[in-house]
Chain A
Amino acid sequence: MTRTDKLNTAKGLLFISPWILGFLAFALYPLLATLYFSFMDYSVLAPPVPIGAENYAELANDTNFMKAVFNTVFFAAISVPLNTALACFLAVLLNFNVLGKSFFRTAFFLPSLVPMVCLGVIWRWLLNGEVGLVNQAIGPFADFANAVLGTTFDTPAWLEDPAFTKLGLVVASVWGLGHAMVIFLAGLQEAPVELYEAAELDGAGFWSKLRHVTLPMVSPYILFNMIMGFIAAFQVFAVPFVMMDGVNEPPGGPGGSMLFAATYIYLKAFQDWEMGYACAMALIFFLLVVSLTITLMKLSERRVYYAGK
């Protein structure tokens, strides 16, 4: 390495030093500390006491932990594919050259700017079993179905009935698809026009073009949005926490149906003051998200088309 190279390396390092410092202090150190504390009985207030793998052994038999894993996976498995598909569909629609295109794009993006806590409060009202707008909107359909089919459908108590709470949250999560939609829009605009022209010459219709041109061209975006969506879904916390707060329920919701991984980690760390246990749990979830991301990348290798390759 010549003197100039060394100087350049030093300069480069200096320029990224704020990032390096930030990474060391706010990512690497907490990660290592999490690992360290996961082997401790640590209440934050008192010095940690080493207890070996006790936290992990306890985790294996913790039914609430299992419930939190199930709830999180259930929510992620429904909300992520649904939101990705909806975002993609909306992006395709908003990519048409229609009057007021900018207005519609803004209108569909706006809800994703609403802060999480506000979102929680708003949806608490929208999903209220008795006076909520959602039930008022679907009520007439239920009545109609009952009158015609002789059934006894009733509008659900979204926030109080354990069978519906997570579905309510999925409905609420649709508000956040604006970001994914914008990414899809960017992807759609990158799709070469000549491909569509060629497809049209071959007699392809709307669906055919969508299936054979659009989807392959936006496949890297689908993968990206899926991965980001799963990571976000595994961290879901603020919205269900706030939604449950207003209905005088334990933070885990009725029957523990809204106990998500992040909620349980938070409760253990900051309400039960079992920071060591919470750290062990956080590590397990970290590994879960990492392995899920790797699996998604591997599975999609043959299905994602990168134009640059």
Chain B
Amino acid sequence: MPCLFKYPFLAFLGASSLLFLASCSRSPDGLTEDGRTIVTLWTSWAGTERAGIDSVVEDFNSAQDKIYVRTLNITDPQTKIMLATAGGNPPDIAIMNNQFIAPYAENNALTPLDGLSEAAGITPEQFVKTFWETATYRGRTWAIPLTCSVTTLHYNKKIFREVGYDRPPETLEELERINDLITQKRDDGSIARIGHFPLEPGWWRPEWSNWFGMGSYDGEDRMLFQDEGWQDAAQWLASYHQRFGKDELIKLRSGFGRFSSPQNPFFDGKVAMVLQGIWMNRFIETFAPDDFEYGVAPFPASEKADIPYFAIADADLAVIPKGADHVQEAFTFMRYLIEDGGLEKLALAHGKMTSLKEMSPDFYDKHDHPYLDVFLEIANSGFAKARPQLAQYQNYFTDTNEAANSLLYGLVTPDEGLDKIQSRQQKALDKKQLRWSRVEESYQDLWQEQIDETKIYNLPSKNN
């Protein structure tokens, strides 16, 4: 010690290093003062959605005395969960969107839930097929789907009446005819109002080919950007700059207000038809004018497709990242959500649907969405599909978004645009497939081991 007193600087350096190292480590026990296991839950839900999960967590925490769930809000969950998992300090439960299941699973960053589901007696039959499928990948179950939605056509009834329509379109071609009727240009050629604009809100741009009967990925080893579905979709997107003018469309879009504001172009009548999900009702209630009248219907497919309509199924899922400290306790909470009414309460708070096939009569009575039945029917119709499960999903999403924009504005010809995106995305897929072939065997063995281990877990029974 005298040596340290002699060199206070060394002592300072040592102490700060220790402090730094200590701050990097995790808390030792993960227990509350009264000895309950703390389960951490990360979600990006905010506002009323956060209040919804808080209330369910509170119910769970007071219904038993062994587990205490602690919720933490994060932004950009995909990146944060990835970094926390890579750093070996992930949450016990994370809520993520369905499109990220494949990238996480393929990188061995999630705990397979097949064993735990078996131990808890949870079966796929309890869930709506479309939503359950979002939780599986490479033959394993990775998540429990929670609140869900399917996309539908939201249309402005007042504007429809103005042009002599009292019902939604039945084909995409009819939708475009209505689009032409509704669209109004000013004297200087600029667009004052448009019937439909595929980039508003543009959240599902990579999936437009589905309305022409084909997705972007065959589910195995081929991207389908040069197949019929995308060929037709590209022509359809290009028809926008041909009909309305590139500069006029760019100008129109630059004047659109933020989504969650009264200046949302759907609310202020700049766009009369949008592809939207079940949550839209909440935003309409909050931001649209009092006399706003809207209808909801299936978004019709093209006459060329052999389906009447198409919908994208989206789900928020609960996963247990790899390396989570309290797997058993985390799954106990997840089971509570699906078996003890927690999920229904959550869905009511979020104004969404649940992933479950059967809900209590109370759920339908209490749900405030005027078109809930339309969403339920579409979800169960077989025409609703989730986005493709791709290990390179984010790359696919960014790249296809840009390609769709370029096609719509006529920055590239349909052939040229599709050639480029096909070549880039096929390359990206091949790369991931090659990588998977290198690790498949070891990962599958590892997952099987984890499943066998967790199968025999004794999950605390209800309210215990």
Q: How far is the CB of B448 from chain A (nearest CB, A)?
A: 17
CB within 8 Å of A: which of B406-445? Answer: 406, 409, 411, 420, 424, 427, 431, 435, 438-439
Q: How far is the CB of B419 from chain A (nearest CB, A)?
A: 11
Of the residues B9, B201, B402, contact of A255 by C-beta under 8 Å: B402
Residues of A within 8 A of B109 (CB): 45-46
Q: A44-B82, A45-B86, A63-B424 in contact; A248/B251 too (CB < 8 A)?
A: no
Q: How far is the CB of B8 from chain A (nearest CB, A)?
A: 12
Interface string of A17-52 (1 = CB under 8 A from B): 110000000000000000000000101111001000
Q: Does B401 contact A (CB under 8 A)?
A: yes
User: In the bound complex, how far is the Cα of B402 from the Cα of A251, in angstroms?
Assistant: 9
User: In the bound complex, how far is the Cα of B431 from the Cα of A49, in angstroms?
Assistant: 13
Q: A273-B82, A273-B107 in contact; A254/B420 too (CB < 8 A)?
A: no
A129:B402 contact, CB within 8 angstroms: no
User: In the bound complex, how far is the Cα of B90 from the Cα of A214, in angstroms?
Assistant: 59
B394:A131 contact, CB within 8 angstroms: no
- B83 (CB) vs chain A CBs: closest residue: A44
Interface string of B95-124 (1 = CB under 8 A from A): 000000001100111000000000000000
Interface string of A112-132 (1 = CB under 8 A from B): 000000000000000011110
User: In the bound complex, how far is the Cα of B399 from the Cα of A286, in angstroms?
Assistant: 25
User: In the bound complex, how far is the Cα of B256 from the Cα of A249, in angstroms?
Assistant: 13
A157:B394 contact, CB within 8 angstroms: no
Q: How far is the CB of A168 from chain B (nearest CB, A)?
A: 11
Of the residues B250, B395, B438, contact of A129 by C-beta under 8 Å: B250
B438:A162 contact, CB within 8 angstroms: no
Q: How far is the CB of B275 from chain A (nearest CB, A)?
A: 13
User: In the bound complex, how far is the Cα of B42 from the Cα of A289, in angstroms?
Assistant: 40
Q: Does B19 contact A (CB under 8 A)?
A: no
User: In the bound complex, how far is the Cα of B253 from the Cα of A158, in angstroms?
Assistant: 12
- A255 (CB) vs chain B CBs: closest residue: B411
Q: A41-B435, A45-B109, A255-B406 in contact; A160/B398 too (CB < 8 A)?
A: no
- B78 (CB) vs chain A CBs: closest residue: A271
B254:A159 contact, CB within 8 angstroms: yes
Residues of B within 8 A of A220 (CB): none
A157:B250 contact, CB within 8 angstroms: yes
A129:B398 contact, CB within 8 angstroms: no
User: In the bound complex, how far is the Cα of B9 from the Cα of A154, in angstroms?
Assistant: 65
B107:A43 contact, CB within 8 angstroms: yes
Residues of B within 8 A of A247 (CB): 254
Residues of B within 8 A of A154 (CB): 247, 251
Residues of A within 8 A of B82 (CB): 44-45, 270, 273
A46:B401 contact, CB within 8 angstroms: no
Most buried by B among A157, A249, A272: A272
- B392 (CB) vs chain A CBs: closest residue: A272
Q: Does A256 contact B (CB under 8 A)?
A: yes
Q: Does A14 contact B (CB under 8 A)?
A: yes
B107:A46 contact, CB within 8 angstroms: yes
Query: Would you call the interface of chain A mostly helix, strand, loop, or mixed?
Result: loop
Residues of A within 8 A of B199 (CB): 248
Residues of A within 8 A of B9 (CB): 14
CB within 8 Å of A: which of B161-212? Answer: 199, 201-202
Q: Does A199 contact B (CB under 8 A)?
A: no
Most buried by B among A41, A129, A247, A273: A273
Residues of A within 8 A of B438 (CB): 49
A246:B258 contact, CB within 8 angstroms: yes
Q: How far is the CB of A243 from chain B (nearest CB, A)?
A: 12
Residues of B within 8 A of A270 (CB): 79, 82
B85:A45 contact, CB within 8 angstroms: yes
Q: How far is the CB of B31 from chain A (nearest CB, A)?
A: 28
Q: Does A304 contact B (CB under 8 A)?
A: no
Most buried by A among B83, B250, B254, B394: B254
CB within 8 Å of B: which of A224-251? Answer: 246-251
User: How many of chain B's residues touch chain A, expressed as a range?
Assistant: 35 or more
Q: Does A161 contact B (CB under 8 A)?
A: yes
Q: How far is the CB of B434 from chain A (nearest CB, A)?
A: 9
- B401 (CB) vs chain A CBs: closest residue: A250
Residues of B within 8 A of A159 (CB): 254
Q: Does B255 contact A (CB under 8 A)?
A: yes
- A41 (CB) vs chain B CBs: closest residue: B435
Residues of A within 8 A of B402 (CB): 250, 252, 254-256
User: In the bound complex, how far is the Cα of B431 from the Cα of A131, in angstroms?
Assistant: 44
CB within 8 Å of B: which of A265-294? Answer: 267, 270-273
User: In the bound complex, how far is the Cα of B405 from the Cα of A159, in angstroms?
Assistant: 13
Residues of B within 8 A of A131 (CB): 255
Most buried by B among A14, A131, A157: A157
Residues of B within 8 A of A17 (CB): 13
A250:B398 contact, CB within 8 angstroms: yes
CB within 8 Å of B: which of A52-94? Answer: 58, 63-64
- B10 (CB) vs chain A CBs: closest residue: A14
Of the residues B392, B395, B411, B420, contact of A63 by C-beta under 8 Å: B420
Q: How far is the CB of B375 from chain A (nearest CB, A)?
A: 24
Q: A129-B250, A250-B402 in contact; A272/B435 too (CB < 8 A)?
A: no
Of the residues A129, A162, A250, contact of B254 by C-beta under 8 Å: A129
User: In the bound complex, how far is the Cα of B10 from the Cα of A18, in angstroms?
Assistant: 11
User: In the bound complex, how far is the Cα of B181 from the Cα of A252, in angstroms?
Assistant: 34
Q: A49-B435, A130-B254 in contact; A271/B104 too (CB < 8 A)?
A: no
User: In the bound complex, how far is the Cα of B405 from the Cα of A49, in angstroms?
Assistant: 35
Of the residues A45, A58, A252, contact of B104 by C-beta under 8 Å: A45
Residues of A within 8 A of B394 (CB): 267, 271-273
Q: A63-B420, A250-B401 in contact; A45/B254 too (CB < 8 A)?
A: no
User: In the bound complex, how far is the Cα of B250 from the Cα of A130, in angstroms?
Assistant: 10
User: In the bound complex, how far is the Cα of B394 from the Cα of A242, in angstroms?
Assistant: 18
Q: A129-B254, A159-B254 in contact; A273/B103 too (CB < 8 A)?
A: yes
User: In the bound complex, how far is the Cα of B394 from the Cα of A252, in angstroms?
Assistant: 13
B13:A162 contact, CB within 8 angstroms: no
Of the residues B255, B398, B401, contact of A267 by C-beta under 8 Å: B398
Q: A271-B398, A273-B103 in contact; A254/B405 too (CB < 8 A)?
A: yes
Q: How far is the CB of A67 from chain B (nearest CB, A)?
A: 10
Residues of B within 8 A of A271 (CB): 78-79, 394-395, 398
- B258 (CB) vs chain A CBs: closest residue: A246
Known A-B contacts: A44-B82, A157-B247, A159-B254. Give 7 more (CB < 8 A).
A43-B107, A129-B250, A157-B254, A160-B254, A248-B202, A250-B405, A270-B79
* Leading 7 A-B pairs by shortest Cβ distance: A129-B254, A130-B255, A45-B107, A271-B394, A45-B109, A157-B254, A272-B395
Could you jot down 17 A-B contacts, CB within 8 Å?
A17-B13, A18-B13, A45-B85, A45-B104, A45-B108, A46-B107, A49-B438, A58-B427, A128-B254, A129-B254, A157-B254, A160-B250, A160-B251, A160-B253, A162-B411, A248-B259, A267-B394
